[in-house]
Structure formats: structure tokens, C-alpha cells
Structure 1
Amino acid sequence: MTVPARQRPLDSGHLFCFGLGFSALHLADRLLARGWRVSGTCRSVEKQRALAAQGIEAHLFDRGRPLADLSTLLRDVTDLVSSVPPDAAGDPVLDQHRAEIAAAVQHLAWIGYLSTTGVYGDCGGAWVDESSPLQPSGERGRRRLHAEQAWTALPQPAHLFRLAGIYGPGSSALDTVRDGRARRVVKPGQVFSRIHVADIASVLVASMARPHPGTAYNVCDDDAAPPADVVTYACELLGVEPPPVVPYDQADLSPMARSFYDDNKRVRNDRIKQELGFSLAFPSYRLGLKTLFDAGF
């Protein structure tokens, strides 16, 4: 696969975000600063009001509360992204609004779906790239894979962004240490990949500038590392003693937390660099955490 030849200017546009959460809002901020219009969905009136104060028109949506007239809302939208996770029944966005989104592709320049590297499953610590087999090991990963398939089955296939563990301002190992929630669980040979939310936004903008529908991109940094190492470094920055090491087989983990340890892989990010010409602002968790710390986060 080669770099798309067409370079699209991004001096104006209208982004619609299904799920105005942590990652989507960082993308929204980038585009608002360029003079774009941003609209989308959220799940509470409180957040809807907060988003309005930021200049974002938000509409209430979830599986049991579809949008009343999405076709009208999408009429002048140029770009669409979904960060809404699938549930046990499937992808809520496409289950409720597939027809309207399919009809809108004639005027959409770009569609993105935020997925997860969990679709690769457990690889025993081996390297994976976008051509690796998709063999999710848990139910959440299987749901994500089915959602990816649904989004790429649209008349204009979505771009897929397989995100590693996300961190950023207000949501990092620094916060878990400060809050007393940090644990150093050690499972020999286990590594996780991570990505700073600012780099997620930058990758999405780079893809919007070079649309290549149906392409999957791994979005992670260059430094897959054991989770205990990240906690140790956060403690070092904060000048506190790290919590004691807890062997994985002795850790009292929730089913959700334990599921993260089911998969062990190192994720390659060559495609975002080679095809999108992208350079990571935070190629390692150390630089990312140090920058957050220096900024007061």
C-alpha cells in the first residue's frame, strides 16, 4: 500500500463526531482552531451544555435514543468519525443510522472509526502490523472486529484507527499515582503499547488530509513497555515511592482489568509514518509523562 497521492486542504469543513469523548474532543479542538464547524453526539444533558459552551453542537444519542433526523444533521458535513464502542448487540451507530450514513457518503470526504489494537488478540509478545491476522482473544475484541467490518462495508469504507492504550491530560499514570489507584502488577514478558491523545488527533488530521478509504492504521508510540515500568516512572516524576510489585497470579484484578493482560504484543506503527508522513510528538511514554508533568497535569 502506498501513500495516497491526493493532498486535501483542510482550511475549512464540518466534522460530525459520534461520541464526543476524550479522543474525539482533541480532534475537535484542532479543527475548531482552524475555523471548522464541529457537531456530534453525547449521552448527557450536562455534557451537551458544556460542549455548547465550547462552540460544539451536540445531540443526545445512545442505542435506546436514536437521532431524530440525522440526514438533516449530516447535510453539510464533510467528515465523520465514530468513537462509540460496540455493545453486546453490535455497533449502536450503524445499528440505528446505517442508512443515513450510507446515503451521506456521496458528500463525505472522509469517514473514520476509532477501534483498538485488541483486534489482533494475544501474540505472545510478538510484533504485529496492519497485515497481521485478526484473532481477538476476548469478547470486547471480537465486538470491535465486527464493528470494523461493518464500518468498512459502507459504500465508502471507513478508515480504521486501531488505538493502543490512550493517555493524556487528566488521564495518565500520573493521575492514578496521585489518586492512590496505581498498582505495579507484573506478568513476566508482558508489554503494552500506548499513545498520547494529542498524537491520536494528529494522526486523524493527517488521514483527513490524505484520504484512503478502507485503510487500517495502528496508532501507537514506539515504546511498548511493561505497565509496571510506566507506574514506576510516574512515581519518579512525582517524587513518591512506587507501590509494591504484585505478581499477576496474586493480583486481585477486576474482570475488565484482567482482560487487558490476556493480550501480549508489540504493535508496529510504520504505516502512519510512511503513508501519512506522520511524526510522533510523543514517541515514548517517558516523554509523554514528562511533558504532562511539566505542564502541571
Structure 2
Amino acid sequence: MMKTASLIGNKNKFLILGCGYSGSYFAKTIKKFGCTVLTSSRSISGDPNSFVFNSENGVVPDAKIFDGVTHILSCIPPDKNGNDPVLKSLKNKLKSMSLEWVGYLSTTGVYGNTKGDWVSEINEPNPFQKRSYKRLNCEKEWIESGLPVQIFRLPGIYGPGRSTFEAIKNKKIRVISKKNQVFSRIHVADIANAIIYLLQNKNSLKFYQIINIADDEPCSQIEVIQFCYDLLGLTMPKPILFEDAKEELSPIAKSFWMENRRVSNKLLCETLGYKLIYKNYKVGLKNCYLNS
């Protein structure tokens, strides 16, 4: 962790909206700083630090949940019309609070297809998929909200309990080969720690509203799968060409193969000075292997 005087501690109260894989990991990590952390779920859970927020049913949190909140992280995807569910239900409430910071987890899908070229935050978004258009619309809504928001664009997310190892174990693995196709990825620990690093150093770093969080080495899917089979001491099945496999793929799976880009992390890692914990899939997957 950083040696600098931390800007986050027991005087801070975080609300995490949409506590899926990344949101839960962030909540668990930020708690270590002594912050109060409340997480949302769609239905009542036994967790005293959880509250119900279900925008589809119009269930919004009690007013007391918002007392003393300093930071909000929203991990909730767009609704079916492409609007942001949090802003739709809570925008006026959030604007009436004295929030220090709001984070929004978006996707690098907003960049669209660059045919394998690098993309950075200065590139104009050019979404290719309908879901990426919806994300870009939500980014715009957050930026126009007037809240102190920072948007994090994320590529493929993996980590313990959610990696290629699970796909191999559950026999859901498809070894597909497509020439010159690469994917960018990020370990869930780096999402949480990059955001915390930015919060801890908020006063000394220039503020950027949009930041990519990705590792150093975009690469082909086959490389990653081969590495996992090698670690497990198993033989990787023979790859199938994408052209032969695409008919069997679900629309969502097929859509991932229709875009090819390398996501740059230079703003985060060079300009802002964040040091990745898992700079490539090899170190990241070793961590998943040891924790599986």
C-alpha cells in the first residue's frame, strides 16, 4: 500500500451500488482502510451492511442509508433503454449530498473495433455493439450529472473464482483460434487497488475524468488457455478455427470476437503512477491458480 498519508479512512463512508464481482472485491478491499462500507443488493440479504436497491421495481434505499456518505461507486449496467438506473432513481438525492467522489465502472467496449490497434482515453469512442452504445450513453449521463464523477473503462475482468481455470474445470472451455485477434484484460485486484490509489493521492494527482484500467499485455485467448492447461499439467484440446466455431457460439460470445483492440494503460500507469499488481495474465493467473 501507499506510504503517503491516506486520504481515506474511518471518516469516510462508501456506498457500492451493484455489488457483483468487481463491486464486492472493491468493498472488501476498501474496508481494510477502516471506512464504513454499505453495499446494495436487489433483494433483502442477511448482511447488516447491505441495503436494497432495485431500480426495476422502483425500490430505493431509505434516506438514512445516505447519511454521511462521502464516496459512491456504481457498478450497475445500463437499463434496457440504455439509461443509467442509478441516475434515473437517485440523481436528485445524490446531487443534494456533499459527495467527495463518485466512481462509475464502464467498459472498453465503448472504443469499438480498432482491428488490433492500441486505444487510449484520447480516442473518440466508436461503439460497435448495442450494449456498448448503452454504456457510452450512461457515461455521458454521469458526466453531465454535475457530480464529481470518475469513469473507469474496463476490459475483460478475471480473478480468483472467475478465470479460465473455472471454464476448464466446468468443461465450458472453447479453444478458438482467430488470426491476429487479441483481447485486453485486468485482474479484479487491480481494479480495486487502482481506484484506491487514485483516491489516496487525489490531492497530488491531476484529475482525469476517464481512465482505462487494463494490464500491460493484451494477447490472444489461446495463449491464456494454453498457459492454464500447462499450469494444470493437462493437454489443451486442439483449437477450432473461429470460422468453424462461430455458428455454435451464442450471440454474446460471438460478439466478443467481432472486436479486436489493445487497450492502453499509459495514463493510469505512466502519467498517474499506479503500479499494477498483476501486470500480465501470467502473474494474474498464477494468483487465481493458488486461490482456486
TM-score (norm 1): 0.90
- Provide the residue aligned with 1:3 in structure 2: none
Counterparts of 1:154-233 in structure 2 under 5 Å?
Answer: 154-211=145-202, 215-233=209-227
Kept in 2: contact 1:17–1:40 (CA 8 A)? yes
Counterparts of 1:85-124 in structure 2 under 5 Å?
Answer: 85-89=77-81, 90-104=83-97, 107-124=98-115
Corresponding residue to 2:249 among 244, 248, 253: 253
Kept in 2: contact 1:184–1:245 (CA 8 A)? yes
Q: Which runs of 5+ in 2 are unaligned?
A: none
Number of residues paired by the alignment? 282
Corresponding residue to 1:72 among 42, 57, 64: 64
1 CA distance for matches of 2:141 and 2:5?
27
2 CA distance for matches of 1:207 and 1:66?
32
Cα deviation digits, residues 125-181 of structure 1 (max 9, x gap): 001000001000010100000000011112224100001100001000111111111
- One-letter identity of the residue aligned with 2:254: R
Classify 1:24/1:276 alpha carbon distance in 2 versus 1 (closer, same or farther; 3 Å): farther
Classify 1:7/1:264 alpha carbon distance in 2 versus 1 (closer, same or farther; 3 Å): farther
Kept in 2: contact 1:157–1:213 (CA 8 A)? no
2 CA distance for matches of 1:132 and 1:235?
36
Kept in 2: contact 1:210–1:276 (CA 8 A)? no
- One-letter identity of the residue aligned with 1:234: C
- Provide the residue aligned with 1:290 in structure 2: 286
Counterparts of 1:16-165 in structure 2 under 5 Å?
Answer: 16-45=15-44, 48-49=45-46, 51-52=47-48, 56-69=49-62, 71-89=63-81, 90-104=83-97, 107-165=98-156
Cα deviation digits, residues 111-131 of structure 1 (max 9, x gap): 100000000000010010000
Kept in 1: contact 2:8–2:200 (CA 8 A)? yes
Classify 1:213/1:112 alpha carbon distance in 2 versus 1 (closer, same or farther; 3 Å): farther
Q: Which moved more, 1:225-234 or 1:212-221?
A: 212-221
Q: Which runs of 5+ in 1 are unaligned?
A: 1-5
Query: Cα RMSD between the aligned structures?
Result: 1.8
The structural deviation recorded for 1:275 is 4.0
Moved >6 Å (runs of 4+): none
Kept in 1: contact 2:52–2:59 (CA 8 A)? no
Kept in 2: contact 1:24–1:83 (CA 8 A)? yes
The structural deviation recorded for 1:28 is 1.0
Kept in 2: contact 1:183–1:231 (CA 8 A)? no
Using the aligned pairs only, state the percent identity: 33
Kept in 2: contact 1:230–1:285 (CA 8 A)? yes
